[in-house]
Amino acid sequence: MNDEKTTAKNDPSIQNVADASAMVPTIDFDPERLLAPSMAALIGEACREHGPKPAYSCILPNGWHASLGFAEIDALSDAIAFFLREELGLEQGEVVAVMAPNCLGYPIAAYGAMKAGLVLTGINPLYTPREAAHQLADARAGTLFVIDLFADRLEKSLSGTDVRHLIRLSVTDFFPWWKRRLVEARLRREGRLAPLPRPAISLARAIELGRRRGRGRDSAVLRRGRRLDDVAIFQYTGGTTGRSKGAEITEYNLLANITQQDLFTGETLRAQAGAMETSLLVLPLYHVYALAIGAMHAMRAGTHLVLVPNPRPLSNLKPAFETFEITVLPGVSSLFQGLLAEDWFVRSPPASLKLCFSGAAPLSESVRRRWREVTGCEIHEGYGLTEGTCIVTSSPLDERTKPGTVGMPLPGTRIRIVDEAGRDLPTGQAGEILVQGPQVMRAYRNRPEETRTALKDGWLHTGDIGYLDEDGFLTIVDRKKDMIIVSGFNVYPAEIEAVLAEHPGVREVAVVGAPDERSGEAPWAFIVANDPTPTEEELRAHVAERLTNYKRVRRIVFMDELPKSPVGKILRRTLRERARELAIGGKSEQGG
């Protein structure tokens, strides 16, 4: 890949290429000078440096919280590493899945897997059994750390998978025993806590067994022979067929992206005393951005990370702001917009807040302006995608920042803007964003054809549309043509369409995104029905059984026929325009 980069850089036919070294000569990425030799080493070094300082806290909606220090995180994740390799007998490179919300057990399980030389894949705990089973089967995960709140759907989630080991997590792991008992009793009364359908070991027992196995030894012995080009994470993202696909993120990808971000913003952050003191991590750790940048990069700075298991409703965040002096808030547009609609937040905004970062979905100027008025903080935007590990561009944290853009390419990253024929476009003209850099994934798991489509001639073809200005700042014009961004989550119409098409009352269906005040965008379904016509409630229930909440259609519009091109292709642009008119006008639609 390095040869391809050098060739592309010297190719006179390639114009309008932006990279950080061209615009910020003092920043240079040296692939031989990463922050650490491995992800496990990065974790261990941060934990040893910051020892007794609080590393993670988990806070519940009632204000109860528990904390673990850096040294504790190091020791506990070491124990899990020995448990996985020597108690369960897993071999290097086997896959471990974690299906849980943000809780203290999550980093221990994830870091333990990394220290053990295993591949990690994080699964959204709100996935339906169908969605979870697909990811577990595709990743060939043999071990699953699972939250105890969703026992009722676990058996179906494991159907057709290779999972043979279950480790039970709880949002109250590491809380005082009496608080655990009270919380568990309440959850049982509410019917939200049930025994797992298969034998499982508790996290506490796994730690105990791992400590016995690893007593007096360094977990580095478990990673002998592991290389930087070995896969560290299978991060799943939407597929063109509607089923999620796993991006193979290597150790090098992760270390490089964390190093790039540190080179770009680290010096500025270190100069701002206390800026990285305490971060409220609302973003889910099952996503690589939250795990790698939100957590591990922040850990290196000694940041105290505050976890909230369930940020919905947003009032669940109030105890975190009241209990901790939050200085950093990474999030997505819908989080900032939502907080601005909360009276408790606007009346008493956190005075300690110093840094806010937004990604995943475009941030409106009105939200940016209002946030600055309420909190006194600027929201710094960035751009990234799963196939680029985490981050591709980032906003400088100084006077060079340009609100409305998503910043500049990270050190070692190069961007091209091309037309549909692959020709480079001039500055200021929008086209597809192509990316090249050390953070670009190795491949899609089990998807050679889609890998070849995405990675061509040494460049990642993002499918996103944007343009570069004269200073090399990137502006996103549109997301992938058909993708819908719901509260920062990627939603692919094909997946929803496939589910709706299973219903006998649906003849044809097309799903598009419509503007939504709460989530930015929402899926709308345009349907040509069979006779008898199903009700909207019937179709909603059909989808709810098969897809997680943010993928469910917000509205269903029945039509006599779908608009199509002369060759029979559905004209999604026409449907998007119609959905926009209805969403903005608040009108109802029934029939053609």
**pLDDT, tens digit, 9 for 90 and up, residues 67-124:** 999 999 999 999 999 999 999 999 999 999 999 999 999 999 999 999 999 999 999 9
Dist. CA 576–CA 511, nearest whole Å: 9
Cβ contacts of 443 within 8 Å, gap of 6 or more? 247, 248, 451, 455
Q: Which residues contact 418 (CB under 8 A, 6 or more apart)?
A: 424, 425, 431, 432, 434
Residue-range domains of the chain with CATH: 2-25+413-478 (2.30.38.10), 39-393 (3.40.50.12780), 484-585 (3.30.300.30)
pLDDT at residue 566, rounded to an integer = 45
Element (H, E) at 366: helix 365-375
What single letter denotes the amino acid at residue 411? P
In the structure encoding, which two tokens stand for residue 84, read together? 């996985």
The pLDDT tens digits for 379-411 are: 999 999 999 999 999 998 887 888 889 999 999
Q: What is the pLDDT of residues 444-500, one digit of tens each?
A: 999 999 999 999 989 999 988 889 999 999 998 766 677 888 998 878 787 898 899
Contacts of 513 (CB under 8 A, 6+ apart): 483, 484, 485, 491, 521, 522, 523, 524, 576, 579
Q: Report the alpha-carbon distance of residue 481 to residue 573 in Å, rounded.
A: 9
Structure tokens at 18: 């932006």
Instruction: Give me the pLDDT at residue 90, please.
Output: 98
Instruction: Find out whether 301 and 274 touch, Cβ atoms under 8 Å.
Output: no
Give, in degrees to the nearest 5, the angle at Cα 383 between 511 and 40.
Answer: 110
* Contact between residue 293 and residue 269 where contact means Cβ atoms under 8 Å apart: no
The packing angle between helices 251-271 and 39-50, to 10°, is 30
Sign of CA dihedral 394, 395, 400, 401: positive
- For 388-404, the three-class secondary structure string (H helix, E strand, C coil) is HCCCCEECCCCCCCCCC
Note down pLDDT in tens along the chain; length 592 residues.
Answer: 333 333 344 444 455 666 654 444 346 889 889 999 999 999 999 999 999 999 999 999 999 999 999 999 999 999 999 999 999 999 999 999 999 999 999 999 999 999 999 999 999 998 999 999 999 999 999 999 999 998 888 999 999 999 999 999 999 999 999 999 999 999 988 888 888 888 999 999 999 999 999 998 999 999 999 999 999 999 998 544 467 899 999 999 999 999 999 999 877 777 775 667 999 999 999 988 899 888 988 998 899 999 999 998 999 999 999 999 999 999 987 788 889 989 999 999 999 999 999 987 667 777 888 999 999 999 999 999 999 999 999 998 887 888 889 999 999 999 999 998 899 999 999 889 999 999 999 999 999 999 999 999 899 999 888 899 999 999 987 666 778 889 988 787 878 988 998 898 998 899 999 999 888 899 999 999 988 889 999 999 999 999 999 999 999 999 998 887 544 567 888 999 999 999 887 644 444 4
Alpha-carbon dihedral 102, 108, 114, 119, rounded to 10 degrees: -50
Q: How far apart are CA 148 and CA 193, in angstroms?
A: 7
Each residue of 308-347: b (16+ CB within 10 Å) or e? bbebeebebbbbbbeebebbbbbbbbbbbbbbbeeeebee
